[in-house]
Structure 1
Amino acid sequence: MLEFVDEFLLIAVAHFFAVASPGPDFAIVLKQSIQRGRANALWTSGGVALGILVHVTYCLLGVAIILSQSPTLFNVLKYVAGAYLAYMGVQALRAKPAQGNSSSEKPVVQDTESAWQALRRGFLVNALNPKATLFFLSLFTLVISPSTPTKVQAFYGLYMAFATWVWFSFLALVLSKERVRAFFARAGHWFDRGIGVVLIALAVRVVI
């Protein structure tokens, strides 16, 4: 394994900057943390990490080559992802002021959501994200050597999924603190609408 240390470190650094950059994953974890609380945001973070495994799997199976050689298939993925982000954005734009909520009250949790729904939401946002597709395409075709054993490549993938889960879980823990949620809850509907605008903007960016 020592012969792959340099390659692993390069992948770890590239992945860190990719996962830390603002995007659909960050937006959805932020929204869930503020709007629905810690547990929901942690499940959403888990879903994002599971989405990473989808990208790793198709890269290991060689589907990445097909995607890179088929603009039509990639465009279909883009439009599906854009539509999903736009749908969530429109839903957020429809947020209404909470009834009877004052600055001295704890944040009101709107629209309760099950763990499964939160997990699925995070999974779909990441798995349908063309930005993630492009990242893993470049990673597995340009950074990882073709001579690297499949087991080692699978280890890389598991590491990136785990690191993604750790990062977004950390964000969820920070953003779901009562003080943070209380700050946003004072004008929660405006926050939701702002996130809606961001999600729609991301949808447009994904498509074009």
Structure 2
Amino acid sequence: MYWTELLTVALIHLLAVASPGPDFAVVVRESVANGRRAGTWTALGVGSAIFLHVAYSLLGIGLIVSQSIVLFNALKWLAAAYLLYIGIKALRAKPADPCAGEMSTLAVERTPRGAFTAGFVTNGLNPKATLFFLSLFTVVINPHTPLLVQAGYGVYLAAATASWFCLVAWLFSQQRVRAGFTRMGHWFDRMMGVVLIGLGVKVAFAELP
């Protein structure tokens, strides 16, 4: 009975998750700089944050945020500040020590908790994600759809998001890919810093539709 609705949700989500944004940038940076393990944990953090969006959408909190300019602005400034923070850190990257050895030894030790948190915070604070899930659960999904079924959609969305970004992490943590970016040295970090700062500025100037 709900297969048509699920397919619609899946298609809309696929188009949204495949478009590059803060989540993509953070997963790519972690994967290239710190390897597949860090990239995968970051992807799992992004996927887990989906449960946060689904929870407040089902509770109706998302609607309150969307109707309150103060709350919406607070959320977007937090998101922008975080993206600017990690962007500036990347922008200040210094050239590697030529005596440091192989690429594997150059990778900064990254804890699973740190990588997971980076993904979770990036997605969780994204006001665009707030508006996306609000639209999904108020316009696309029929309000008469049982709460349990809607929660099931949420589980699917979280799993699909995590799977997509795990694939991104796997692709960008390939030895050949990492080696290519490593040859760019600290310029890759600086380039990603510019991208993250640009995304932070874009989020900062986001407005309610």
TM-score category of the 2 structures, normalised to the smaller one: over 0.9
Match of 2:93 in 1: 95
Cα distance between partner residues in 2 of 1:41 and 1:115:
9
Asked if the contact 1:11/1:139 (under 8 Å) is kept, the reply is: yes
Sort the Cα spacing of 1:182 and 1:62 in 2 relative to 1 into closer, same or farther, 3 A. same
Match of 2:197 in 1: 200
Sort the Cα spacing of 1:188 and 1:108 in 2 relative to 1 into closer, same or farther, 3 A. farther
How far the C-alpha of 1:64 sits from its partner, in A, is 1.3
Sort the Cα spacing of 1:144 and 1:101 in 2 relative to 1 into closer, same or farther, 3 A. farther
Question: Is 1:190 the equivalent of 2:150?
Answer: no
Note the residue ranges of structure 1 that are not aligned, 5 or more in a row.
none
Match of 1:73 among 63, 68, 71: 71
Cα distance between partner residues in 2 of 1:8 and 1:194:
38
How far the C-alpha of 1:153 sits from its partner, in A, is 0.5
Q: Report the residue type matching 1:57 in the other structure.
A: A
Sort the Cα spacing of 1:108 and 1:23 in 2 relative to 1 into closer, same or farther, 3 A. farther
Cα distance between partner residues in 1 of 2:99 and 2:54:
44
Runs of 4+ aligned structure 1 residues displaced above 2 Å come to 104-111
Cα distance between partner residues in 2 of 1:40 and 1:94:
21
Aligned positions, number: 205
Match of 1:26 among 24, 27, 46: 24
After superposition, what is the alpha-carbon deviation per residue over 1:120-178, rounded to whole angstroms, capped at 9, x for unaligned?
Answer: 11100000011111110111111011101100110001000000111010111111011
Note the residue ranges of structure 2 that are not aligned, 5 or more in a row.
none
Match of 1:52 in 2: 50
How far the C-alpha of 1:98 sits from its partner, in A, is 1.1
Q: Report the residue type matching 2:170 in the other structure.
A: L
Q: Provide the aligned C-alpha RMSD in A.
A: 1.5
Asked if the contact 1:37/1:109 (under 8 Å) is kept, the reply is: no
Cα distance between partner residues in 2 of 1:65 and 1:171:
31
